[in-house]
Structure 1
Amino acid sequence: MKKLIKHIVLAAAFCSFATNVLADAPKRQIENQKLEIFDTELGVRNGSELGSSGIWLSNDLFAMTSTKDLPNAAEKHLLEVRLVDWKTKTSKVLVEEGQIICWNPERQIASIQKTYSSPTGDVKYDLIRLDSQGQVGAISDNTEISPNFCQATESLPQNSLTILLREPDGYIQLNTPGEPYKSDRKAVWIRPNKTPLVMNVRVDEVHGAGNFIGNYLAYSKKYLLNTWDSQGDSDTDQRRAGVGWNRPYDLTPYRLMAMDGSIEEIPYPKILFEYGIKRFAYFLPTPAGVIISAKNLFLLQGEKLTRIWPRPGIFGGVTPEIIGGLALSPDGCKLAFRHYRDTKYTTPKSVSIINLCEKA
């Protein structure tokens, strides 16, 4: 009798497990899509996560930081800046020492942070001329330039939380200078030589606090105002905010701001839930569809979701990776990104580039 009861209990537990699995099973299946991919075989082999995988100088030329190809270079943190050519699938040294911090396409100026530039550990920056063809030279402009943002120092905001836009476009102000931050306040676009524009967007729905660079999508001539998953944050998720939520949506939509200040809203992609994706890290609209980053790279085209990275193995399996540093080319077709297995300091962080506009 005890054995019979034990078997019944085990059978009931198995049925309960099976029911839960079926209940959580995705309604839609994710297919793999083959796109043209270039593995640069470059990247930082030993070091902390950098802000971006690199900077697009044009639709085909990509400047990025990489560990030097020398003995013990990873341990010594010997870095260089390389120029990757998408057309030829080759790269060359652009700057022999340091890492690229920023690039101002209007001024054609880049900032290079030197690696261990002094015995005291002080950080040294070099400002260089870098054009869209990857040509390096000396700066002839006498304007004082911030090495952290590659913009004229006098144009930078003072004493306020902001998101920096391209230098000709000014910045988005998240609080009144000298006053505390208020999450329900409307963001204000401070435009050079123009009247400030009050945006119909709460500051807590514009990502960034401090002098962050805005996400400019050159192909559409618009700024993407938010990129993170709206879930899990009381500023953007009704379930976390509770009774104080008074907005017409339960999850903050994604917004594109045009140069005239008009704003286009893209609803939160709840279709992802049907594919079994409960959370994601990054949302990026492109001409080919929306890039969704979630330990895989997905391309959402209408209601169809396909996996574009990692590549399936011999038997069709996919090993998830940590993905970051997404950088979109000016035409919106090529996506550079950093990928690696784990967050260990010594784990190589490689950069690959995918052509979203052409299949392999």
Structure 2
Amino acid sequence: MIPYGRQDIDANDRQAVLDVLSSDFLTQGPVVPRFEAAVATQCGAAHAVAVNSATSALHVACMALGLGPGDHLWTVPNTFVASANVGIYCGAEVDFVDIDPDTYLMCPEALAAKLAAAETAGRLPKVVIPVHFAGQSCDMAAIGALARRYGFRVIEDASHAIGARHAGRPVGDCAHSDICVFSFHPVKIITTAEGGLATTNDPALAQAMELARSHGVTRDPALMDGPSDGGWYYQMVTLGYNYRMTEMQAALGLSQMSRLDEFVARRNALAARYDQVLDGMALVRPLQRPDNLSAYHLYPIRVADRGRVFAELRAAGIGVNVHYIPVHTQPFWRARGFAPGNFPNAESYYAQAISIPLYSGLTEADQDQVVAALRAAL
């Protein structure tokens, strides 16, 4: 079976993890800060906060921005459920903005129209989470301009997009957002096995996320209520969680970062080859904005009779998948008042979507096998 995505682990990656296993620290040691610094430098951001998953990163980002009961969070339906769930974790109300039918990203025009209506109704969002689907950045300049006009905060869900660029700038520099979140799940661009990270240029937000990832506990006398009792002393100054990244995960991630540009270049080369060999077939290829460099986490195509094509590809040994079932159609969200038909662009895309294999270790022979099976199924 050729999977739709797969990690790329080499001898240096394995040695980096083994070195940690032979060291004094398995958690809360020196490697996590080094990994954070490497990602911050790559993104051009002032701060980076590593955690145990991108979901945790989204959660601590929402906490740092003060999202809570009575507030509203908006995201897109074309995403994994975590992008919306974090609003519920904080006690906020969640709503969705439909996607652009061509790029499958948050549509700035739909966002603008929804904001105008929400302003009239007195229900503007406190936080908006645009999702950089399949590795391609949303139009962050347009979304950032709306944030300044209407006063909401922005968290970029860049789980798919480390190494991507928008308008010549690296995704994660937070030029048009407050916080940007990455995922390091094994099928993503780089991996820490499980793990996530948030970048920001705001030191107060970085500090708040650092506290939230580690029980709200600090040993910093400057953050304590009253004097320290001694070198052993700590205080819990806010409510937090155990969202810390381990040293082994960070070591793997730090080693993987040395090949990030290589991974992104290879994914782009494979995507360009798909563009060429799939041209003229009865499918819709993913559209790329000309001002973007995608990290190409996914190569989603659209086909008629998706169910049959999906089943035939799986039977032929091609491990295709579908990204994503619109969040608002899930039972949990239907019980909160959403229904099929609410966001037609996301639903139309989902009805035809298949993610075909794309990862840095995919060979051209593998790719030819994918294309041959796809041609036969179509």
TM-score interval (norm. to shorter): under 0.3
Higher strand share: 1
Task: Point out the structure with max Rg over C-alpha.
Answer: 1
Higher helix share: 2
Larger RCO (CA within 8 A; separation ≥ 6): 2
